[in-house]
Structure 1
């Protein structure tokens, strides 16, 4: 059976779904080349998660403009000599098109050089690989040199932009037009799957298609692959079919990645598996931290594993503080490869657990929302920051609220506290008094309203009496 991802791969930019801004940016860059001009940035970097349409976009662009494609991918040699012999030679020389005709580049006869998975280029390897002609030594330098002298458009396709630009790849930031691709909108993927089903004469329940899309997390390739696997020898697809087939949720990929990090002895495999797990690095760090003591039973391995993990956490903290995102890749290397090489021997099968911290955060979510609501109201009244209120004022406020009923009643009225916020302030120890305190506040409100009404009525009567008196007051004409 033909692979549906290839069969239904977009052939023109019009058929690419999602990432409209990225497509517009790429068109503008390519149009400069098509006019016979060489733009200031001679290469473009298409960066984004797998399945967002980066490779399809590059090929569709070439098809729309009639450019010949020269592509290097993961199966090609990536060392300096191989890149120079293929990419560099193609970048500076003219070429014939697929029909055998020749059009010089100044008249629009371009060829598009595509380097897929460019973030897999590394400058340093072990000695055995460095001596091999198939190693990646000098790959980034060769790409940078090629971009500087190219007479043809170049597109680099990456999943991890920071992996590409770290180390010797720093100049690529200024040499290339960086175009970010994001996960495709779910509704657009659903429409694509409906169109595929129509062409394949498959009757599909819309709920089944939406389930496939929801679990693909914006990955178009994954959604199409899953649809094809579910439709083998079928002309109808229902929501029950997905359940019966035991549809594989993406969360299982996390356990696969954990198993690879803990079990493998290959540093590169560990790094790649973590990057392909579709989990945010900081979240994956929590998974590793939770399961290290379950996997590494040897005390020395446990210490070394947590040492690598703590350094990764430090780098994540520095990224947040300095906004230097290059440090992110170091954190990822430490939390995957660092933990992998921390073990001195292999262990048996282990049952991995969901991070306890995440469970606690989920169970405390309502309490945190109530705390933030109260905190904001107090901060507004006191004209201080939310942070200072949370650290200094709120703890004392809560003590007063729990031990002084009159203060509690007054604050409920003044701050317009909700029932949930009152429950948070009282805490578990005093929550049994919540009903009485709220009733007290409501009664006080009613009394104040009565006082206001009485006062208003009294004032009105006094004004009427005054007017009557003024009318009865004799004038000069009465004499």
Structure 2
């Protein structure tokens, strides 16, 4: 079969009847697109969420092609700052289709933006003047990274006269995983978006696709080979077609099961494990190689995995194992730091390996039959101590970002103020007073229930200490002002000397 060298493009469905899997999701997309035929639906955008390779963008393109619509697509390989999105999408979306035939039903231009979860930054907009100059290729304007991308995306959804489809793997990436106001971002986008969540494709649908691709390539196969191929796949259509292309290279005439098994053994499928069962498997690993393999499969970034291990070691390990695990975590934390300091790209490698070892081989004693890893409390955005008021205040005081305050400052401050016989004491107010926190914020930092009687006593004591703290500070400020306001005595001018004369003193 002739055509594109990449089989994923060569065998990409071009019509809805060629699609497999996610039937309810496809019907929902079709109904939404039908709403654009003679008008505009209430929500002018649709957000497709799902793991890679399940056919999110393929479904949208196939249905649009059946309807005779033009598709404008931006993906992760394109620049997606405010200027790029305005050039490619916003201007097209606010005008009637260039290819409109007045004798036919209204034709549309489908705007498709893939992998929007990789657009960085917040909702801060770029000025219209800079966008205009950027569109005109003014060399004086240079936007770094995805500057203004999300703000322009939101503007696109508000102003569009054409259907807009966004696709992503992890919706939290779009909302802003590291942002304290991600809920606000979600609410603003959700006003304009219909959400459709895709599932992994069923094994039977994968079998039908594999048979169809092999028939179109004139390659014979056995049912055992197809079954083995599907067993090694986790519902990823793109990976299935790529596997078939690799197996069929070199003029293959018939696909046999032993070839498939050798191929699967030679490669490692990129599969992820949910964090809680993954953490349990990690803590039960006896060998370093097993621990690293398990840690790699957990659906967390290496730095996040390190935080999970750090939190759960304290509740699962005894003191000796804690010390060994902490030594490894210290090195893992240094690796994370090096990523920001000198762009050491191996930092993620060492962070992942050291964190995995800290949770496994550092412990020599048998764990209970059932363990319950927990979510790190200091990472919870909804935790009582992670109030936006505290974070915003500390960010202003320290001149750092809110994400840095949440990640670097809050865990330590919370630990220093919680009830702990070693180094924590909620009745010590020095740090909170020096940082300018209120009594309520101090209580929230200590993670104390507001309704508790002892908490109310701490609030009262803090307010008294706050008054005592303010008096010397105010006095010192007034003294400084008085000194500044005192008139300076005019000093007598020194007699000018002749530069040619020498003096004894």
Q: Per-residue displacement from partner, 1:242-301 (whole Å, max 9, x unpaired)?
A: 2344534546x4xxxxxxxxxxxxxxxxxxxxxxx5332445556777779x99xxxxxx
* Residue 236 (structure 1) aligns with: 254
Q: Which residue of 2 aligns with 1:142?
A: 152
SS of 1:69's equivalent in the other structure is strand
1:169 corresponds, among 185, 190, 205, to 185
* Residue 207 (structure 1) aligned to one of 198, 202, 224: 224
Aligned with 1:110 (options 105, 108, 113) = 108
Counterpart of 2:71 in structure 1 is 69
Q: Secondary structure at the match of 1:78?
A: coil
Q: Distance in 2 between matches of 1:248 and 1:48?
A: 27
How far off is 1:90 after superposition? 0.9
CA, structure 1 residues 94+204, in 2 after alignment: closer, same or farther (shift >3 Å)? same
Partner of 1:60: 62
2:26 aligned residue:
23
CA-based RMSD of the aligned residues comes to 4.1
Against the structure 1 CA distance between its residues 354 and 6, is the aligned structure 2 distance closer, same or farther, given a 3 Å change threshold?
farther
Please state whether the residue corresponding to 1:164 is helix, strand or coil.
helix
Residues 163, 223 of structure 1: alpha-carbon distance in 2 compared, 3 angstrom cutoff: same
Q: 1:355 to 1:135 in 2, by over 3 A?
A: same
Deviation at 1:355, TM superposition (A): 7.8
CA distance in structure 2 between the partners assigned to 1:87 and 1:120 by the alignment? 17
* Deviations 1:355-409, CA, capped at 9 Å, x for gaps: 869xx999969xxxxxxxxxxxxxxxxxxxxxxxxxxxxxxxxxxxxxxxxxxxx
Query: For the pair shown, which has the larger CA radius of gyration, 1 or 2?
Result: 1
For residue 237 of structure 1, report the CA deviation from its aligned partner: 1.3
Cα pair distance change 1:65/1:212, threshold 3 Å: same
Superposition pairs for residues 269-280 of structure 1, below 5 Å? 277-280=271-274
Q: Could you tell me which residue of structure 2 aligns to residue 445 of structure 1?
A: none
Provide the C-alpha distance between the structure 1 equivalents of 2:43 and 2:12, rounded to a whole number of angstroms: 28
**What is the TM-score when the length of structure 1 is the normalising length?**
0.55
Change in 2 beyond 3 A, CA 1:307/1:151: same
- Equivalent-residue separation in structure 1 for 2:103 and 2:90 (angstroms): 16
Query: Which residues in structure 2 correspond to 1:230-309 (within 5 Å)?
Result: 230-233=247-250, 234-245=252-263, 247-248=265-266, 250=268, 253=270, 277-283=271-277, 308-309=307-308
Higher helix share: 1
Q: Hey, what's the Cα distance between the residues in 2 that align with 1:225 and 1:87?
A: 31
Distance 1:92 1:225, change over 3 A: same
Contact 1:112 1:152 in 2 (8 A): yes
Unaligned runs of 5+ in 2: 124-140, 177-181, 293-302, 314-331, 371-505
Are residues 29 and 124 of structure 1, via their aligned partners in 2, closer, same or farther at CA, if it must alter by over 3 Å?
Answer: closer
Matches within 5 A, 1:286-365: 308-309=307-308, 341-342=336-337
Answer yes or no: is the 8 Å Cα contact 1:114–1:156 preserved in 2.
yes
Indicate yes or no: 2:223 matched with 1:224: no
**Conserved in 2, the CA contact under 8 Å of 1:94 and 1:105?**
no
CA distance in 2, matches of 1:160, 1:14: 28
Q: 2:143 maps to what in 1? A: 133
For the structure 1 residues 134 and 204, does the alpha-carbon distance in structure 2 shift closer, same or farther, using more than 3 Å as the test?
A: farther
With normalisation by structure 2, the TM-score equals: 0.52
